[in-house]
Amino acid sequence: MVRWNFSEINDQGTGGLQPGQKQAGFYIDSPDLPVVGIMRMFGSVPIQGFPDEGPGESKVGLKLREIEMGFVLRFAAVPGLTIPTPYDAAVVLSRIQNHINTNLVSMQLIDMTFATQLDFWFASAIDAAKRNNTEGLRHAIHELRRLLKQEQPDADKDDDSDDKNDDKQKMPKPRIDKLAARVLDFDLRYVQKRSAGDKD
């Protein structure tokens, strides 16, 4: 769980992270590879004042009270995939595949048809890793990353900038969420580097 606390109040009588703003620089230091998890975000805001009686017991009022009294849930990249010692690419790939079919599917962050399409190449990569077929492993990972990039062109980028392209509305809905695609691509790049002998 990540908790956001602040105590500074600015000239407008507010502080912390305001609606619509972003704050960079946060990271979790872990030897594990990332997966998509759910983050509970707690905050603190000044007491809200409303004209008359405010939203009361309406749907808006109840939702506002829920947010004020509780937390906001957001998907986030969090450590969750342990790298075995000694390193075994087949085990890592199996764990990534299991995360897709168990978590990403239940979170509705990936289309089932697309998950099945990825399964074929995961099976190929796992088989190649078990047989020490480095070339076959690299080819399967290349195909997995190609499929991710086909759905989310920015999957291999490490920045958090949002694509403001006007043509985006004309494109079909991606079959995988952008965050999920980026996390999977990061994990696959790790296996790809390790298959080339790079341990960093």
Please indicate, yes or no, whether residues 31 and 121 belong to a single structural domain of this protein: no
Residues 187, 104 share a domain = yes
Q: What is the pLDDT of residue 4?
A: 54
Give the per-residue pLDDT at 27.
Answer: 73
Residues 47 and 94 in one domain: no
Same domain, 92 and 46: no
Q: Same domain, yes or no, for 20 and 89? A: no
Total number of domains constituting the chain: 2
- Give the span between the Cα atoms of 186 and 158, in whole angstroms: 9
> For position 10, what pLDDT does the model report?
60
Q: What is the pLDDT of residue 60?
A: 82
* The model's pTM: 0.78
Q: Which residue has the higher pLDDT, 75 or 67?
A: 75
What tens digit of pLDDT does each residue of 6-20 get?
Answer: 555 566 655 666 667
Whether residues 179 and 124 fall in one domain? yes
DSSP one-letter string for the chain: -EE-------TTS--SS-TT----------SSEEEEEEEEEE---PPP--STTTTTTSHHHHHHHHHHHS-EEEEEEEEEEPPPSS--HHHHHHHHHHHIIIIIHHTT-B-HHHHHHHHHHHHHHHHHHHTT-HHHHHHHHHHHHHHHHHH-TTTT----PPP--GGGGGSPPPSB-HHHHHHHHHHHHHHHHHHTT---
Mean pLDDT across 26-41? 86
Are 143 and 189 contained in the same domain? yes
Domain that holds residue 104: 83-195
Same domain (yes/no): 91, 183: yes
Residue 23 reports pLDDT greater than 80: no
Residue 48 pLDDT greater than 90, yes or no: no
Domain final residue pick, 23, 48, 78: 78
Q: What is the pLDDT of residue 97?
A: 98
Summarize pLDDT for 146-200 with one digit per residue, the tens: 999 999 999 998 765 555 554 555 678 999 999 999 999 999 999 999 998 766 5
Closest C-alpha to 36, from 176, 174, 149, 141: 176
Across 51-65, 95-109, 175-189, least confident range: 51-65
Q: In this predicted structure, what is the pLDDT of residue 19?
A: 67
The predicted pLDDT at position 127 comes to: 98
pLDDT in tens, 111-157: 999 999 999 999 999 999 999 999 999 999 999 999 999 999 999 98
Over residues 55-59, the mean pLDDT reads 78
